[in-house]
Amino acid sequence: MSSKQLFPWDAYSDQPYILKRETKKALRKGHGLDYLKLIATNLIYFPYLFIRFLIKKKTNHSSKTTNTNIGLCVNVDKGQEQHALIEELGVKSLQIRVFLNDMNNIDKYIAFAKGFGENKEFLITIIQDREHIENHKLLIQDITIIFKKFENMATEFQIGNAINRIKWSFISMEEYLAFYKSIQEIRDKHFPNIKLIGSSIIDFEYHFSIRTLFNNYKIHYDKFSTLLYVDRRGSPYSTQMGFFNFKNKIEFLDTIVRNTKKSENSIYITEANWPLSNTAPYAPTSEKECVSEKFYAQYMLEYFEIALKTNKIEKIFWHQLIAPGYGLVDNREEKIRKTEAFYAFKNFLNKKNPQNKER
């Protein structure tokens, strides 16, 4: 069975379909030692890091607001309309996904990025597939092509996406660490000016983050990334497990990152959003988790404000510009409709960066 058949893509929600339980169980066979390492690492480090977090929480009362950079995710398949919309918003930082299983179209990604002009900062996210995870010779070949193609346009590359979800093709953290190591070796040898960003864990699943930060692999993250969604709790002020609201999740992750030598003390949130009501099949979750456009805009602003006040997040990339089920713009029926959140995002950037008002 081919990789595309094993991990089918849902074009509505821009992510792989959820795998059946029996499929995931079959894929995990032969990876028992990998999961044992995950458990052992957390038995050693999790209690220590959690205690450090609690101690820091009692002594850290800063309300200073950092100069966090707010960016947007844009997709090559969402059309050229994105160029004008980004210009209207005044966004400088953009994230573009490049799929390793779409290397035949690499020049389309380059043309798409160039269309935004020369004053943008790009984070290029490398989207994995099983073929490149299993074949590091092919991985090295195609990563070299990507690095060369973007050489004069981008210096930051996020390696992997949602790596703790088997539907995104990684079976274990050990596979990701080996994948990242191969790419880092190419960067170190041929592209020393490139910054590598990882480990791209999605949601509040820091046991996976801990394994990617405490290991014997010769790797280093120039920035540490997380896809820190809190949408299933409603407001970012809501808590998980009765204690971990969005602020505390940031503080705990900051503690983890500051206590490892595998990463610089710099965190990027590379994905966040809320699913929108009455948008099935475009919404990435069930209707139960969906919110109205009004609450989407409110929660987005709360998310930004909380993150800025922690003084712990260097960049946030909102996911994404155009997506009927969770974006700032709805493009169903081939019409561009800017939601309430689009204007809230624009106003937020204008207040944060007054020079944007000149646009």
Q: 244 pairs with which residues across the strands?
A: 240
User: pLDDT at residue 62 above 70?
Assistant: no
Q: Specify if 24 maps to a domain.
A: no
Give 248's pLDDT tier (boundaries 50, 70, 90).
very high
The parent domain of residue 306 ranges over 30-353
> Which residues, at least 6 apart from 177, have a Cβ–Cβ distance to it below 8 Å?
212, 215, 217, 219
| pLDDT tens digits, 83-115 | 999 999 999 999 999 999 999 999 999 999 999
Q: Specify if 240 maps to a domain.
A: yes
pLDDT of amino acid 103: 98
CA distance 307 to 9: 32
In the numeric block, which tokens belong to residue 242? Answer: 């009765």
8 A C-beta contact, residue 18 and residue 167: yes
Q: Specify if 12 maps to a domain.
A: no
pLDDT of amino acid 356: 63
CA distance 129 to 4: 9
Contacts within 8 Å (CB) and 24+ apart, 144-151: 144/186, 144/190, 145/103, 145/106, 146/98, 146/106, 147/186, 147/187, 147/190, 147/191, 147/194, 149/106, 149/107, 149/109, 149/110, 150/110, 150/113, 150/122, 150/124, 151/191
Residue type, 14: D
pLDDT of amino acid 67: 82
| pLDDT tens digits, 147-205 | 999 999 999 999 999 999 999 999 999 999 999 999 999 999 999 999 999 999 999 99
pLDDT of amino acid 66: 64
pTM here is: 0.96
8 A C-beta contact, residue 133 and residue 105: no
Q: Specify if 340 maps to a domain.
A: yes
Q: Specify if 20 maps to a domain.
A: no
In the numeric block, which tokens belong to residue 235? Answer: 């407001």
Mean pLDDT of 349-358: 74
CA distance 76 to 256: 34
Q: Specify if 5 maps to a domain.
A: no
pLDDT of amino acid 359: 45
Query: How many domains, in total, are found in the chain?
Result: 1
Q: Specify if 2 maps to a domain.
A: no
Computed over every residue of the chain, the mean pLDDT equals 95
**CATH number, domain at 60?**
3.20.20.80
Q: Specify if 9 maps to a domain.
A: no
